[in-house]
Amino acid sequence: MLGTTVIIPTALVPQMGGGNEEKAQVIQTSLFVAGLNTLLQSIFGTRLPAVIGGSYTFVAPTISIILSGQWNDEDSVLKFKKIMRATQGALIVASTLQIVLGFSGLWRNVTRFLSPLSAVPLVSLVGFGLYEFGFPGVAKCVEIGLPELVLLVIFSQYLAHLIRPGKNIFDRFAVLFTVIIVWIYAHLLTVGGAYNGKPPKTQASCRTDRAGLISGAQWISIPYPFQWGPPSFNAGEAFAMMMASFVALVESTGAFIAVARYASATPLPPSILSRGVGWQGVGILLSGLFGTGNGSSVSVENAGLLALTRVGSRRVVQISAAFMIFFSILGKFGAVFASIPAPIVGALYCLFFAYVGAGGLGFLQFCNLNSFRTKFILGFSVFLGLSIPQYFNEYTAVAGYGPVHTHARWFNDMANVPFQSKAFVAGIVAFFLDNTMHKKDGQTRKDRGKHWWDKFKSFKTDTRSEEFYSLPFNLNKYFPSV
């Protein structure tokens, strides 16, 4: 979880006006809320081993709040708190979208039309669509990132098979082994003076002592709701954040499907997926109450970790959530782990996101690839899923604002944010085409692989689904899944 938990606050808090102390506190809060949300999701939500953490989707509306200028203050700390409270208010309102769609069953009625064919572009680009966080992150300090990437591949894919006694050790603990080795190597470079006199950007990426988190973190700090003060509410900011919440909802649907695939669970019944979305909305609500500065969604990197370690146990994820809460309270210890250089995390992303993307491609086995209908939907949706966000991102990078540019900043965000998400564009295009292009033909139904998922449309149709997704403590009679 240290990837999004550290990278997002590191990018946002200085723009809000906060210093190292505020940054450390936001990271602690993010880790604490991630632990809570993961426990809730694994116990009451989908009950999959899915980790719920920060999402890059919510960064754009948060930056829009920062740039609006209405929360400026001469005192940087007061400015930070004002912007954080505005973000909290927007997140609290935005959480109602997923809570209503999830717990009312509306999202169940949408996802029951999903087929393996429409799932391929959605799940694939949930992983492959995050390529800008992979090797570009490694290249920020190639002498640290590249050794991590090479060692990770060697440990997980070669040593696990070459050294028989350690087969289950090297693949399951490849991340821990390689991160520790390269982290020590990076620290030796730092104390050895390898980066003395280097540009500030290089030092920020390579050094292990530049984050300022250890000195800024408190020894013991328990995050609590409204720690930054009472949230402030603005209708325009709330609508923009609500659109980001909807985009995160679509992306999380693909991530849930990937987690179910790698956890060796049955395909998600629509009712269970809807229940998970409802609890994810509760997670965004908690993010707003505690003040993480960012919304919550399914952690894509942890979905890839399931494939790398081949450990799809919900109990393991629950214990991990307990560790997240523990390290968030003991601030200094958490800050030590958070000081891992970002290029190491970028190297991990190269494998994790690749596994998630490959998990999406795995659904092609249920589709008829000789059908021109299948070829068109796959090719067209994936191409647009890559091409449209590229246009929006390039336009924004050059002009400083998106293609939709009016005097209403909140409307600009609502129109531009969805089209900057590759998974969202590809998933929506594939879903629309798959459900409108002459689907009533019996052969077409087989071509799209729908018949493979028929038995999992209902919660109680397959006993394996009932065993895996049933709520604990006999709560199904109070919260029916059908």
Tell me the pLDDT tens digit for each residue of 5-32: 888 888 888 889 888 888 888 888 999 9
Q: Is residue 408 part of a domain?
A: no
The answer to whether the CB of 452 falls within 8 A of the CB of 366 is yes
Q: Is residue 322 part of a domain?
A: yes
Residue 202 confidence (pLDDT) = 82
Alpha carbons 401 and 317: distance in angstroms, whole number? 40
Residue 381 confidence (pLDDT) = 95
Total domains present in the chain: 1
Residue 355 confidence (pLDDT) = 95
Q: Is residue 170 part of a domain?
A: yes
Residue 212 confidence (pLDDT) = 63
Dihedral of CA atoms 400, 405, 408, 410 in degrees, nearest 10, equals -70
Q: Is residue 332 part of a domain?
A: yes
Domain that holds residue 185: 2-218+229-364
Instruction: Read off the DSSP letter of residue 158.
Output: I
**DSSP bridge partners of 53:** 297
The answer to whether the CB of 465 falls within 8 A of the CB of 269 is yes
Q: Is residue 411 part of a domain?
A: no
412, amino acid identity: N
- Residues of the chain where predicted confidence (pLDDT) is lower than 50: 482
Q: Could you give phi then psi for residue 191, rounded to 5 degrees?
A: -70, -20
Alpha carbons 471 and 339: distance in angstroms, whole number? 38
Q: Is residue 475 part of a domain?
A: no
User: Beta-carbon neighbour count of residue 407 at 10 Å?
Assistant: 6
Alpha carbons 321 and 35: distance in angstroms, whole number? 4
Total residues found in the chain within this entry: 482
List the structure tokens of 89: 């208010």
Residue 286 confidence (pLDDT) = 95
Return the closest-CA partner of residue 102 out of 254, 272, 284, 257.
272
Distances (CA, A) of 458 to 273, 474, 480: 11, 19, 12
* Angle, CA 361 vertex, CA 359 and CA 364 arms, to 5°: 120
The answer to whether the CB of 4 falls within 8 A of the CB of 55 is yes
14, amino acid identity: P
